[in-house]
Amino acid sequence: MNTPPVTDAAIFDTLRKVFGFREFRPNQERVVRAILDKRDVFAVMPTGGGKSLCYQLPALLLPGICMVISPLIALMKDQVDGARANGIRAAFLNSSQSGEERDQVMRDLYAHNLDLLYVAPERFTLDHFRQTLARLPISMAVIDEAHCVSEWGHDFRPDYLSLSALVTIFPDLPVAAFTATATNRVQQDILDKLALRTPLVVRASFDRPNLLYDVRFKDSVEAQIAALVKSNPGKAGIVYRTSRKSVNDTAAMLRSKGFRALPYHAGLSDADRKSNQEAFIRDEVDIIVATIAFGMGIDKSNIRYVIHADLPKSIENYYQETGRAGRDGEPAQCTLLFAQGDIPKVRFFIDAMPDDTERAKALGALAKVVAFAGNSVCRRRTLLDYFGESYPHDNCNSCDICLGTRDLVDCTREAQMLLSAMVRTEERFGATHIVDIVTGSANKKIRDFGHDRLKTYGVGKERDKKYWRQLIDELLAHKVIEKSEGLYPTLYLLPKALQLLKGEERIEIVRVLEKKKAKTAEASSAASANPELFELLRALRKQIADEQGIPPYIVFSDRTLNDMASLSPRDAESMLAVSGVGEVKLERYGRQFLRLIDRFCSDKR
């Protein structure tokens, strides 16, 4: 089939009229043009990079149906809702549908009434589906979440391996694979398995410039979570915890303080999990407290903060989980609460792993996370480094290190007190006992060992135990002291400790400056130029979404509402200038939003 080449005007017209955007995001145009030239594509783009547009736009310009293979049923529905909201003729075929619904989709396919068809990989492996495909005018094939093809990826799906057949089934059609996760090793593996034909390979930067990374000392975890949630009133956020119990406890704690929060973990029934997730997606609750199992199946673009209250398993996981924030490109905050004391808990699980290589892999991953959280290098630089990318700037201006929200304090004298207590007790005791000595606790163990007669007994009693525990964590992280293995670990000195004791070395540790912190949080939440109008627009969005049974962010993204609030469009033409408002959305929602803005503006006069 020979089709005339697609003109530049057609490309940009579609971008503007259907999607409501005047410009491409980085790399989108190259991918779009390659597909239009019938070339295979392999694109690694971060979450929020705008992958959908890369294939939806060519799907509209190439005659026929674009088949998208997508691993998660929930995501499929979201993608279809999102595409339809822009007036794209899209549908999915999967096991969640009734026979009748599937028949309707089949009829639409044969009547050439669809531009986009989403299917699960399982379906693609079915013979009768392949026969159906042969009778349909397919224009291109897309593999979404392509890392599922790789055994090195974090969510490998065996049925994805069948996708290597795509290039033989469609010898003349472009095949485009997209993923947001790919270390170089995963990338090579995907390319090998899919056998793409001299594809355009695009590797976008993994930097998520709108995310603020922030690592804080974890001391009173629940109070810290509550404070963070409180500083983001009414905004959507995820709190990640490792155990089901802590998920339940934290969710209950937040609810008791009046926040709208729900739990999500594998211990809940399918129905509960589903309804909690739905409530979050529809902006009915603001916070989901979850184990890492949460987030895979959602495209919610207006998540404004992610809190890791426990240590993530790997940098990869951390990047994925924080990556769920700010998909719409608006500012979002990622906070990791880190305590040295969390490490043994994770190690405990790792030690129980039966497989030697798996265990070694997990240990290596843990060490990298600990280094990420514990060192004083720009967080963004460290994350990008992990993906083999070097960050080109000295200061990212958007992480706790670069913002200087951490202050270095000299604590040499205090460190000497601890070290001296260890020396005087012959390095035979653990952290708790050493802290008891320094703070002058009068417990039985202290008296039994006669440690109340030591010179260091009580020298640090003006500070609380938490302070001393934290300082021990720091000394461990700075490799001044080490902890023995075993059930009752004791602390012993490393060479640096002797230099510290002699005063030849000093030690500075970072201290969180809560005041400055508050300022950055405000700065990011004050992103809206007209918060009052934004809130009204948001309420209208929610009302429309409920009426139509779709998630609010599919009506308009937070970015679009912000843009609308600051431009205050008064007519259809200026409404079209708002990013994310295309012709179909203007027609569907324009009048209601214009009326609201009009009323708001006349009230203000």
Give least dist CB 86 to ligand ADP, A: 9
SS3 content of the chain, % helix, strand, coil (to 5): 50, 15, 35
Measured distance between the N- and C-terminal CA atoms of the chain, rounded to whole angstroms = 60
> Smaller CB distance to ligand ADP: residue 383 or 510?
383
Q: Which of 87, 76, 77 is nearest to 17 (CA)?
A: 87
CA–CA separation, 96 and 468 (whole Å) = 55
> Smaller CB distance to Zn ion: residue 108 or 389?
389
Interface with Zn ion (CB under 5 A), residue from 51, 77, 235, 380 = 380
Does 49 sit near ligand ADP (CB under 6 A)?
yes
Does 24 sit near ligand ADP (CB under 6 A)?
yes
Give least dist CB 206 to ligand ADP, A: 12
Choose one: 34-42, 46-54, 272-280, 434-442; the region binding ligand ADP (CB under 6 A). Answer: 46-54
Size of the site for ligand ADP (CB under 6 A): 21
Does 62 sit near ligand ADP (CB under 6 A)?
no
> Smaller CB distance to ligand ADP: residue 49 or 569?
49
Interface with ligand ADP (CB under 6 A), residue from 286, 316, 328, 414 = 328
Distance of CA 576 to the CA centre of its chain: 30
Give least dist CB 378 to Zn ion, A: 3
Q: Which of 270, 313, 310 is nearest to 289 (CA)?
A: 310
Does 510 sit near Zn ion (CB under 5 A)?
no
Does 21 sit near ligand ADP (CB under 6 A)?
yes
Give least dist CB 403 to Zn ion, A: 8
Q: Of ligand ADP, Zn ion, none, which one sits near residue 327, judging by CB under 5 to 8 A according to partner kind?
A: ligand ADP
- Window 296 to 315, contacts with ligand ADP (CB under 6 A): 299, 301
Cα–Cα distances (Å) from 328 to 30, 225, 289, 322, 583, in that order, read: 21, 24, 21, 14, 20
Q: Of ligand ADP, Zn ion, none, which one sits near residue 217, judging by CB under 5 to 8 A according to partner kind?
A: none
CA–CA separation, 90 and 81 (whole Å) = 8
Q: Is there a contact between 45 and 51 (Cβ–Cβ < 8 Å)?
A: yes
- Window 540 to 569, contacts with ligand ADP (CB under 6 A): 557
CA–CA separation, 32 and 605 (whole Å) = 46
User: How would you label 44-75 residue by residue, b for 16+ Cβ within 10 Å and e otherwise?
Assistant: bbbbbbbbbbbbbbbbbbbebbbbbbbbbbbb
Q: Is there a contact between 350 and 311 (Cβ–Cβ < 8 Å)?
A: no
Interface with ligand ADP (CB under 6 A), residue from 327, 381, 433, 451 = 327
Does 322 sit near ligand ADP (CB under 6 A)?
no
Which residues have a Cβ under 8 Å from the Cβ of 588 and sit 6 or more positions away? 85
Provide the residue count of the chain.
605
The backbone region for 310, taken as left when phi is positive above 0, alpha when psi lies in -120 to 50, beta otherwise, is: beta
Does 211 sit near Zn ion (CB under 5 A)?
no
Residues that bind Zn ion (CB under 5 A): 378, 380, 396, 399, 402
Chain residues binding ligand ADP by CB under 6 A are 21, 23-25, 28, 45, 47-53, 299, 301, 327-329, 557, 579-580
